[in-house]
Chains A and B, each alone.
Chain A
Amino acid sequence: GQQLNQSPQSMFIQEGEDVSMNCTSSSIFNTWLWYKQDPGEGPVLLIALYKAGELTSNGRLTAQFGITRKDSFLNISASIPSDVGIYFCAGHPIYNQGGKLIFGQGTELSVKP
């Protein structure tokens, strides 16, 4: 089935560093979403993007909907220990049926104090 390629798969960074992760697809998407999953919990929505080129911030998080509509990135500035978790990109492909979201494989973020 349709796959989103998310990279990197994992990151080990020092507290205070900036983080960047991205997601690409061979298909056009009309929505991009970024989720964060804490250990033992379900994913929680961080940012939703609805238009090509859209740049949206949520505190220290910034995400962009790529101009080609086939990619998106998420940046985290000045990381802190509570940023630890798994980050998922997700999107609705243009051929979307029934509102089904397609998810990337996730980026596992570790932050060293």
Chain B
Amino acid sequence: DAGITQSPRHKVTETGTPVTLRCHQTENHRYMYWYRQDPGHGLRLIHYSYGVKDTDKGEVSDGYSVSRSKTEDFLLTLESATSSQTSVYFCAISESGYGYTFGSGTRLTVV
């Protein structure tokens, strides 16, 4: 399909545990993004990357960290999951920074 895969697709975890979500692309695109989607808020940017080891914060970055050691992988880590981080997480890629392609999402539930 679009060459972007998110894993896992669904996860249930307990409060206080660390969680890592993975985004993998086969398009060799420079830019990668992590968004969360919540009712009434649309899509909000968590972190983004403009190259290997080059990352920056988005508007809702508290409680999240990211790493990009290879062009194709962008990892999102919740250091200590909280119930407010229950959400659907989307990864997106872009070659130029315009017009994103999104993955199918990861539904995360923190209990």
Contacts and interface: CB of A to CB of B under 8 A. Distances in A.
Nearest to A108: B39
B42 A99 contact: no
By secondary structure, the B interface counts as: strand
A103 B90 contact: no
Interface residues of A, number: 23
A48 B56 CA distance: 25
Contacts of B97: 92, 98-99
Interface in B25-67: 31, 33, 35, 40-45, 48, 50, 56, 58-59
B93 to A, nearest CB: 11
B100 A45 contact: yes
A23 B104 CA distance: 25
Interface of B: 31, 33, 35, 40-45, 48, 50, 56, 58-59, 90, 92, 94, 96-105
Interface in A2-28: 4, 6
B1 to A, nearest CB: 11
Interface of A: 1, 4, 6, 31, 33, 40-45, 48, 88, 90, 92, 98-101, 103-106
11 contacts: A33-B99, A42-B103, A42-B105, A45-B101, A98-B48, A98-B50, A99-B48, A99-B96, A100-B45, A101-B100, A106-B42
A73 B26 CA distance: 33
Given A98-B48, A105-B41, A45 B99 contact: yes
A42 B58 contact: no
Contact of B102 (A44, A98, A106): A44
Contacts of B105: 40-42
B47 to A, nearest CB: 11
A88 B100 contact: no
A99 B94 contact: yes
Return the 3 tightest CB-CB contacts between A and B, nearest first: A99-B97, A42-B102, A1-B59
